[in-house]
Amino acid sequence: MSYIVTGAAGFIGSNIVKALNERGIRDIIAVDNLTRAGKFRNLVDCEIAEYVDKKDFLSVVESGELSGDFEAIFHEGACSDTMESDGRYMMENNYRYSLSVFEWALEEAVPFLYASSAAVYGGGATFVESREHESPLNVYGYSKFLFDQAVRARVGNDFADAPSQIAGFRYFNVYGPRESHKGRMASVAYHFFNQYRANGKVKLFEGSDGYANGEQRRDFVSVEDVVKVNLFFLDNPEVSGIFNLGTGRSQTFNDAAVATINACRALNGQAAQSIEEMRAAGSLEYIPFPDALKGKYQSFTQADLSALRAAGYSDEFLTVEQGVARYIPWLAAQG
């Protein structure tokens, strides 16, 4: 049985490929667009059966020529740049592409596990997987929202009309190994690490939307946990639906910065510091909130995990402090 992973050279996709390898699975068709060739590094330590360019894959899917014995498809391929202004590109890449692969999975009754996003909630304060709470702030969020709507329209809100497993995951703020190719869209933990190593300080936004400096809050979730949830659903093909995938905790950007700096200090054999000590030492710097993000920024996110828990997932999620402490040594080892 083969597995298909789209976006296989990307952040979450490559971590899923690696996790499948750790289960002894090698028969993996890796689909991606390597126009930005540097992403290939994410697959160097992975084993795959075949690499297929995204355009070639989509052509075969839409022509009806894709056939075989497939265990599941992990559809992680997407443009994740929340600042992308080309709406036509975003909708073609995130919506139309996903719709074609989804329709194929339905026709072939292949389990379809796909990447949605917490961006569908926009600036709201309630993060529950239902239409009344969904109001994206940018075209990226809209592309994910519209695809979720298409899935609901096709298989029903209760997914009762699905011929096989359909599971969408609304990823919150994911961080962890294999994200360096994302550039400006990489996690704050990644950027904080590089800033601290280069300049001995971390830059955060000043207060906005009623929050003090660095106190904007997000649900930061380790890619380790994201992969665990995906594999839980792979192991439980009877469970379908759209699910939040965060930790269920909201932590501040200050928390993420402090965790990153202390993880770096630990690598140097230095004792941990408090945020007050870091501010006094000049390790934390607050910069003006960018005009380009005003009205398009989620100052608070926190996943409601009720649906995920009801689906049977019971493992605890790493805190920012735990997850970053595991991530920073990996980053440092990459040189």
Residue 294 bears catalytic tag: no
Q: Which of 18, 51, 89, 182 is catalytic?
A: 182
Give per-residue burial for 267-298: e unless 16+ CB within 10 Å, then b: eeeeeebebeebbeeebbbbeebeeebeebbb
Tokens of 220: 């930061």
Report CA-CA distances (Å) from 120 to 138, 169, 198, 201. Answer: 9, 11, 35, 33
Q: What angle do CA 79, 52, 64 make, to 5 degrees?
A: 95
Please say whether the beta carbons of 202 and 282 come within 8 A.
no
What is the distance, to the nearest Å, from the Cα of residue 101 to the centroid of all Cα atoms in its chain? Answer: 19
Give per-residue burial for 77-105: e unless 16+ CB within 10 Å, then b: bbbbbbebeeeeebbebbbebbeebbebb
Q: What angle do CA 296, 301, 306 make, to 5 degrees?
A: 140
Q: Which of 140, 171, 196, 327 is catalytic?
A: 140
Helices 320-333/223-235 angle, 10° precision: 100
Longest dimension (CA), the chain: 63
Residue 140 bears catalytic tag: yes
Q: Catalytic residue numbers?
A: 140, 182
